[in-house]
Structure 1
Amino acid sequence: MTFDAETAYTELHAHFGERARRNEPLARHCTFGVGGPADIWVTLDSRDDLIGLTTLCAERRWPLLLAGNGTNVLYADAGVRGIVARIAMNGYSIEDGSNDTALLITHAGVSWPRLLNELAAAGWGGLEFGPGIPGTLGGGVISNAGAHGSDLAQVLEWVETLDASRCEEQPVAPTTRRYTLAELDLGYRHSRFRAQRRVQFDAEGYPVAAPRLLIEPAEIIMQLGIRLHREDPNVLRRLIEERKQHRKRTQPPQQSAGSVFKNPSGDYSGRLIEAAGMKGKMYGKAQFSERHANFIVNVGGAKAADVAALIREAHDRVREQFGVDLELEVELRGEWKVSQP
């Protein structure tokens, strides 16, 4: 697909002002701290912004990648061609129900840490399993985020999306759609939104990003409905603090994207990676953490290619030594053919 970045930037800057940037380093927008430039970066503060930009990109045939807080993504060193737009809508409301329950209606861009603190102060429980989840609620749905024996599937009621799947073939406007919990196919680090996005490994063992779509993801999460229940604020604060401290003890402090691989059935990726001799292994300025072997950390100045090289070696070693084909939890975005070592 052809893309005239200057023409697109001129039009977008006229509408979004300083929220539209040219050649924005993606390393600033992901927790790995790596990644080259996006041709154009846009911050979306409202539902109208999201629908308007997606519609415009469908009409103009401009490639668009929607992003959240960048907590589960590895951007290529060559960056991303086209437009990368961060979903920053972060409002929410609480509708009181019966029997000390409520429905939380939240935009996809709300971050877990902020929301948990505010809900705890107001005496609303339901999401306190996630103080160590650094991403957004929308991103959490994609991977059915969870911790401490709980996950979103246990409290989620519905999700509203912007469906741009028909825009791939023709310049039509996206439509809105609501999915009930039963329609989301939520499982361990899985949802209907991840079904077509699994990272494969090529003949040389390198991770390969899923084929790029015109508008990606084709179904964009905009809003969520989550069940809450009344709880003592002091109990919630204590539980959240305990889980924060647990995260500090068990997870590395350096820049990372959390767990690199999903746990295989009946085992743990960290155990397998450590048993394969990869714990502490470095490539360039990226390292499998000494604290937790399923974390790759940026020790200062790492490249995306360094991270990819570690992913390749760990995947190969675990498969060769234990016969386990580890599935990548981190999503790859950008021009990966350029950046492989």
Structure 2
Amino acid sequence: MTFDAEIAYNELLAHFGRHVRRDEPLARHCTFGVGGPADVWVSVDTPEDLVGLVTICAEQRWPLLITGNGTNVLYADAGVRGVVARVALNAFTIEDRGDGTAFLTVGAGISWPRIINEIAPKGWGGLEFGPGIPGTLGGGVVSNAGVHGHDLGQVLEWVEIVDARQSEERPVAPTVVRYQHSELDLSYRHSRFRSQRRVQFDEEGNPVAAPRQLIEPAEIVMQLGIRLTQGDPQQLRAEIDEHKQYRKRTQPPQQSAGSIFKNPAGDYAGRLIEAVGLKGQIQGGAQISERHANFIVNVGGARADDVAALMREAHQRVYDRFGIDLELEVELRGEWKVS
């Protein structure tokens, strides 16, 4: 079925009102600050709206791409056809268990800095390692985000997802499923939701976006259950400030998507990229950061193709010299040229 953006826009406008836009520049919603327009953009801020949107798109056979804060995604210069929806579920509750622990139930769209600033003054710890992680908690589940030996999986008990996998073949309404910690396959920068999103490199060394599905991703993180522990608010604040200062000292201030590649076992991607002489390399308006070689930054007027070219160069040079196949942490989305 051919996607008619105007029809989709008008129907979604009737359901979601001011949360719907036409031809929305994705550069506004990507921390790289690059990317062309989305045909239709929607922001959903309740579980009901998220399930409703997925249901409509499944029934109408409209391509739907779900996103969070755009911190680990590179949108193509040509933009994204179909509907792009931001998960903006920010509500949370804290249940004090009375034994020095509490249980946090929180929407997948809330940012790390916001939730930390909400719970730390109340004396609840568990997430204080992540104030510099720019993404949402939902995105943090997908990549099992972490730093300094801490990661989300260490405090995560369960996640609730919108499962639209059956919708790929036929117009079936999604279901809501809860996965327990043991079912999430959590490890370093990995979860059960990550494997199908990995960017491959073709024979010429170009990064190739994962094949587009009708509903992407087909399993959408909607809500998390997290264990908290009681702590001293001042001590928690000191730890938060320490993590923030460390990231400020070690990471570039320009627009970026954080680490570009996963660290290979026993080594560091930044060290390898620097060793092949690419630190500071410029392509158009993008640069491999002079502060940290595992960051690509927008130094002004960068295009998505500039960023992708630096990804290609870094991956290829490291592979040629060390035989290490660096894995991208960043996802490619949108209308990328087919090699």
TM-score, normalization by structure 1: 0.98
Residue 88 of structure 2 is matched in structure 1 by 88
* Structure 1: 4+ residue segments shifted above 3 A: none
Q: CA RMSD in A?
A: 0.9
CA distance in 1, matches of 2:57, 2:16: 14
SS at match of 2:280: coil
CA distance in 2, matches of 1:167, 1:39: 21
Residue 49 of structure 2 is matched in structure 1 by 49
Q: Does structure 1 residue 283 correspond to structure 2 residue 283?
A: yes
Residue 233 of structure 1 is matched in structure 2 by 233
Residue 137 of structure 2 is matched in structure 1 by 137
1:92-141 alpha-carbon deviations (Å, 9 max, x no partner): 00011142101100010111001111111100000011011011100000
Residue 263 of structure 2 is matched in structure 1 by 263
1:219-260 alpha-carbon deviations (Å, 9 max, x no partner): 011100000000000000011011111110000000000000
CA distance in 2, matches of 1:84, 1:4: 14
Residue 174 of structure 1 is matched in structure 2 by 174
CA distance in 1, matches of 2:52, 2:141: 23
Residue 153 of structure 2 is matched in structure 1 by 153
1:48-105 alpha-carbon deviations (Å, 9 max, x no partner): 1101010000000000001100011000000000000000010000011142101100
Residue 310 of structure 1 is matched in structure 2 by 310
CA distance in 2, matches of 1:293, 1:34: 20
1:245 corresponds to which letter in structure 2?
Q
CA distance in 1, matches of 2:325, 2:195: 17
CA distance in 1, matches of 2:80, 2:7: 17
Superposed displacement of residue 332, structure 1? 0.7
Q: Does structure 1 residue 211 correspond to structure 2 residue 211?
A: yes
1:285 corresponds to which letter in structure 2?
G
Residues 22-171 of structure 1: matches in 2 within 5 Å?
22-171=22-171
Residue 328 of structure 2 is matched in structure 1 by 328
CA distance in 1, matches of 2:17, 2:169: 30
CA distance in 1, matches of 2:112, 2:41: 23
Percent identity over the alignment is 74
CA distance in 2, matches of 1:294, 1:185: 26
CA distance in 2, matches of 1:172, 1:90: 27
1:71 corresponds to which letter in structure 2?
T
Superposed displacement of residue 287, structure 1? 0.2
CA distance in 1, matches of 2:188, 2:331: 16
SS at match of 1:258: coil
CA distance in 2, matches of 1:87, 1:212: 19
Residues matched between the structures, number: 339
2:264 corresponds to which letter in structure 1?
P
CA distance in 1, matches of 2:25, 2:280: 28
1:14 corresponds to which letter in structure 2?
A
Q: Does structure 1 residue 187 correspond to structure 2 residue 183?
A: no
TM-score, normalization by structure 2: 0.99
1:132-191 alpha-carbon deviations (Å, 9 max, x no partner): 101110000000000121001110000000100000000010001000000000011000
CA distance in 2, matches of 1:295, 1:231: 34
Residue 10 of structure 1 is matched in structure 2 by 10
CA distance in 2, matches of 1:156, 1:200: 29
Residue 319 of structure 1 is matched in structure 2 by 319
CA distance in 2, matches of 1:122, 1:96: 11
CA distance in 2, matches of 1:201, 1:317: 13
Superposed displacement of residue 19, structure 1? 1.1
SS at match of 1:337: coil
Residue 19 of structure 2 is matched in structure 1 by 19
CA distance in 2, matches of 1:66, 1:209: 15
1:107 corresponds to which letter in structure 2?
G
CA distance in 1, matches of 2:133, 2:19: 26
Superposed displacement of residue 203, structure 1? 1.7
Structure 1, unmatched stretches of 5+, are: none
